[in-house]
């Protein structure tokens, strides 16, 4: 789903929400209504937990969530996970996550097809990680 489609879904949602509901929510007895929740919209947490990755009509499920760190550089967005050794960039955070997914798929297939006798050191660690923590789901 491209970013414009996502933005449009927010616009449709906000148009369809009855103004009365919003007013009732704000003026109903909520604690400290002065708190500006909207200001937190621009609050960015660097880590996004992702359990399932989709690409090329397939999906890979992780036993534990993969923390994808998203950072914005001057021009590009960075998506990375140090444990998996994945560092990618993208023109938007969505593109960066897409690139991250592609890399993850690539490494999953690579290490799945590699026999354990062929790896040592860091490659051995990664193979063990991919073998134990990830599984490809049958569509």
50-58: long-range contacts (C-beta < 8 A, 24 or more apart)? 50/97, 52/137, 53/101, 53/104, 53/105, 54/101, 55/101, 55/102, 55/105, 56/105, 57/139, 58/105, 58/136, 58/137, 58/139
Question: Site residues for other proteins, window 51-70 (CB under 8 A)?
Answer: 51-52, 54, 62, 64-68, 70
Size of residue set near other proteins by CB under 8 A:
50
Q: Name beta bridge partners: 90.
A: 77
- Taking the C-alpha atoms of residue 84 and residue 103, their distance in angstroms, rounded to an integer, is 10
Binding mask 100-119 for other proteins (x = CB under 8 A): --------------------
Name which position in 15, 19, 20, 21 contacts other proteins (CB under 8 A).
21
Place of tokens 């050794």: 85
Closest to other proteins by CB, 59 or 119: 59
Question: Site residues for other proteins, window 71-90 (CB under 8 A)?
Answer: 72, 77, 81, 83-84
Residues lying near other proteins in the complex (CB under 8 A) are found at: 1, 3, 5-7, 9-10, 12-13, 17, 21, 25, 28-32, 34-35, 37, 40-45, 47-52, 54, 62, 64-68, 70, 72, 77, 81, 83-84, 92-93, 97, 129, 133
């Amino acid at each position: 789903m491209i970013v414009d489609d996502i933005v449009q879904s927010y616009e449709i949602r906000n148009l369809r929400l009855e103004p009365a509901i919003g007013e009732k929510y704000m003026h109903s007895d909520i604690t400290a209504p002065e708190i500006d929740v909207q200001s937190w919209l621009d609050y960015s947490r660097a880590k996004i937990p992702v359990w399932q990755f989709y690409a090329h009509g397939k999906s890979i499920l992780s036993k534990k969530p993969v923390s994808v760190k998203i950072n914005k550089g001057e021009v590009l967005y960075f998506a990375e996970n140090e444990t998996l050794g994945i560092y990618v960039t993208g023109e938007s955070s969505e593109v960066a996550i897409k690139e991250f997914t592609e890399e993850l798929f690539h490494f999953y297939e690579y290490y799945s097809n590699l026999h354990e006798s062929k790896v040592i050191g860091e490659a051995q660690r990664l193979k063990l990680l991919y073998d134990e923590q990830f599984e490809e789901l049958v569509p």
